[in-house]
Amino acid sequence: MIDRVPGATYDSVTEQFQWPIPKYFNIGTACSDLQDQNALALIEVVDGRSREYSFGDLTEQSNRLANGLRELGVERGDRVAVLLPQGFACGIAHLATYKLGAIAIPLTQLFGPQALTYRLGDSGARVVITDPSSLDLVAEVAPTLEDVTVLVAGAESGGVHRSLEALLAASPEHLPLERTASEEPAVIIYTSGTTGSPKGALHAHRVLLGHLPGFELMFDYFPRADDRIWTPADWAWIGGLFDVLLPAWFHGRPVIATPRARFDPGAAVRLMAQHRVTATFLPPTALKMMRQAELPEVDTALRIIMSGGEPLGSETLDWSRSHFGVDINEIYGQTEANLLVGNSADVWDVHPGSMGRPYPGHRVAILDADGALAAPGVEGEIVLGADDPVVMLGYWNNPEATANKFVTVTGGMGRWLRTGDLGHLDEDGYFWFTSREDDVITSAGYRIGPAEIEECVLGHPAVALVAAVGIPDDLRGQVVKIFVKLADSFTASDQLAEEIRLHVRTRLATYEYPREVAFLDELPMTTTGKVRRQALRAMT
């Protein structure tokens, strides 16, 4: 834990930091059993009504669930998919899985059948834990999977599923704990790239410890007295799960959960005021929506906002100070290695437009075109020392992609993780983002791989060839646009464009569907047959 010291500087904080990584560590035990059992852990807010849970509740119910999962045949290293919104059931599903030494797979309820089938099949999930809102979807894909058990929170047993509550009631409270090494696998979080299918970033239990210095500083010395935290970000993503939920529980502080709530700027402000939220992670799109809305005049307890996913700019930073009276600390990271660089307004100056400075313990650098670490001012790829606790163990069942993600730097500088992002380091030690080396689309904070969209679009009988790119959008940063070459006998029309959009929207996540569709006689190609995305982006 980074102590709050008056007059601390970036150098003083980083120079004294050492990674506290023990030989054995378990995320589930650390976030429940080791906390004050009487302390408030979770406030679940549904339709304006709230229900509170203590750390004792987390411990008891996650122990019962772990015992129940064990009775279902879940063993160390087996995969448990968590397809749930923010809330108590989602939290104990993660804790129980970690306690067993099994591997959690957080999944968003925004997925359609094609996206869900791939992730469940690729991971080989033994159990899917969901709720009634996603039951029809899971029931649709379950018959295509081998030996999968479906548990549903808030529903009686029947059909392809069993009741989560019934399993909890029938399972003992005492759990013989598995002693997990810090290096053992704990979670697979799927991420999208530009080529091939989505890849599952496999992280060890140590990944939570790796998030702590960035977490503590991006919220300006979290935890402080009476700290409460909330984010509208889905706990299915690394931002919601490891930037908010689990680090807060590790520090024994309560989290506000808002299951299935669409982001409403006014409702968000009222929620934070009512529950005295002091720290919040608001994605850039949420902040832009708040700036455009007429917000209620309420007294909040906010002391700091964190944001990340795309640069905000000085206007949004100034707006936060004038409206809420607090700073926004921007951060940088990715699913494979998160919370690497960012800001802490309490400790060092924020340079608007920059990514910030490396958080303590992280070796971040720029790799030049010659494969060496670059000097300040030289643009290159952002890389991270591979001996970092936030670095993934590798991509699940994909050794080739794993090998391509790492590089050995010339001059005896060791092994580094490649981010695929371009930028430079300035003379003051601040990083500046330039562009993405690959073609990942960033929309409303989500990283979207065009390959998955293209594969889905090709399933429409009218489509012969397709390419997806990101185009600028004032609200979301980018949105998806597809360029389509039609199959013979089909004619371009607005009706067909809408049909193709709906085809994607009902099969993949709602944030992935193309907002714009353009029809071309031919797609621009390289001599080796690859789509020239840069040429397509130039057409927008």
Residue 527 is predicted with a pLDDT of 46
Residue 493 is predicted with a pLDDT of 96
Q: How many CA atoms lie within 13 A of 217 on its CB side?
A: 31
**One-letter amino acid for residue 16 of the chain:** Q
Which one is the CATH code of 441-538: 3.40.190.10, 3.30.300.30, 3.40.50.300, 3.10.20.740? Answer: 3.30.300.30
Q: Do domains 1-25+206-361 and 26-204 have the same CATH topology?
A: yes
Taking 70 as the threshold, does the pLDDT of residue 526 lie above it?
A: no
Taking 90 as the threshold, does the pLDDT of residue 465 lie above it?
A: no
Please compute the mean of the pLDDT values over residues 370-388 and round it to a whole number: 94
Taking 60 as the threshold, does the pLDDT of residue 194 lie above it?
A: no
Residue 220 is predicted with a pLDDT of 96
Question: Strand, coil or helix: what is 331?
Answer: strand
- Give the angle subtended at the CA of 15 by the CAs of 305 and 349, to the nearest 5°: 35
Assess contact for 222 and 266: CB atoms under 8 A.
no
Residue scoring higher pLDDT (193 or 247):
247
Is the Cα torsion angle 114, 115, 118, 120 positive or negative in sign?
negative
d(CA 517, CA 540): 11
Identify the DSSP state of 158.
Answer: B
Please compute the mean of the pLDDT values over residues 508-521 and round it to a whole number: 92
| Residues facing 106 on adjacent strands | 82
Please compute the mean of the pLDDT values over residues 167-188 and round it to a whole number: 96
- CB atoms under 10 Å from CB of 509, counted, come to 20
The domain defined by 26-204 carries CATH number 3.40.50.12780: yes
Closest CA to 48 of 267, 264, 231, 269: 267
Please compute the mean of the pLDDT values over residues 416-429 and round it to a whole number: 94
Taking 80 as the threshold, does the pLDDT of residue 305 lie above it?
A: yes
Top CATH class, 1-25+206-361: alpha beta
Is the Cα torsion angle 531, 503, 398, 387 positive or negative in sign?
positive
Residue bearing tokens 């031919």: 522
Q: What is the pTM of this model?
A: 0.88
| Residues facing 42 on adjacent strands | 53, 255
Separation in Å, CA 114 to CA 193, 277, 452, 457: 17, 37, 10, 12
Residue 40 is predicted with a pLDDT of 98
Across the beta sheet with 463-473, the strand order is 463-473, 477-486, 516-519
Q: Which of 81-85, 154-158, 185-189, 227-231 has the lowest mean pLDDT?
A: 154-158
Closest CA to 408 of 399, 417, 397: 417
Residue 418 is predicted with a pLDDT of 96
d(CA 24, CA 19): 14
Identify the DSSP state of 117.
Answer: H
d(CA 267, CA 262): 10
Assess contact for 198 and 90: CB atoms under 8 A.
no
Taking 80 as the threshold, does the pLDDT of residue 265 lie above it?
A: yes
Separation in Å, CA 392 to CA 87, 387, 495: 26, 10, 44
d(CA 240, CA 234): 5
117: left (phi over 0), alpha (psi -120 to 50) or beta: alpha
Residue scoring higher pLDDT (412 or 532):
532
Residue 528 is predicted with a pLDDT of 47
Residue scoring higher pLDDT (48 or 66):
66
For the chain, the average pLDDT equals 92
Contacts of 434 (CB under 8 A, 6+ apart): 379, 421, 422, 423, 424
Please compute the mean of the pLDDT values over residues 262-290 and round it to a whole number: 92
Q: Which of 88-92, 419-423, 495-499 has the lowest mean pLDDT?
A: 419-423
Residue 410 is predicted with a pLDDT of 79
Helices 494-505/450-457 angle, 10° precision: 120
- Dihedrals phi, psi of 361, to nearest 5 degrees: 95, -15
**pLDDT tens figures, 116-133:** 999 999 999 999 999 999
Burial of 401 (0-12, 13-18, 19+ CB in 10 A): middle
Domain ranges of the chain: 1-25+206-361, 26-204, 364-436, 441-538
Give the helix ranges, DSSP H, for 304-447. 314-323, 399-405
Burial of 389 (0-12, 13-18, 19+ CB in 10 A): buried
Please compute the mean of the pLDDT values over residues 243-247 and round it to a whole number: 98
- Topology, domain 364-436: Luciferase; domain 3 (2.30.38)
Question: Strand, coil or helix: what is 80?
Answer: strand
Question: Using only C-alpha atoms, what is the Rg of the chain?
Answer: 23
Taking 90 as the threshold, does the pLDDT of residue 243 lie above it?
A: yes
- Residue 192 — very low, low, confident or very high, per pLDDT cuts 50/70/90? low
**pLDDT tens figures, 339-369:** 999 999 999 999 988 999 999 999 999 999 8
What are the b/e assignments for 289-308, b being 16+ CB within 10 Å? Answer: bbeeeeeeeeebebbbbbbb
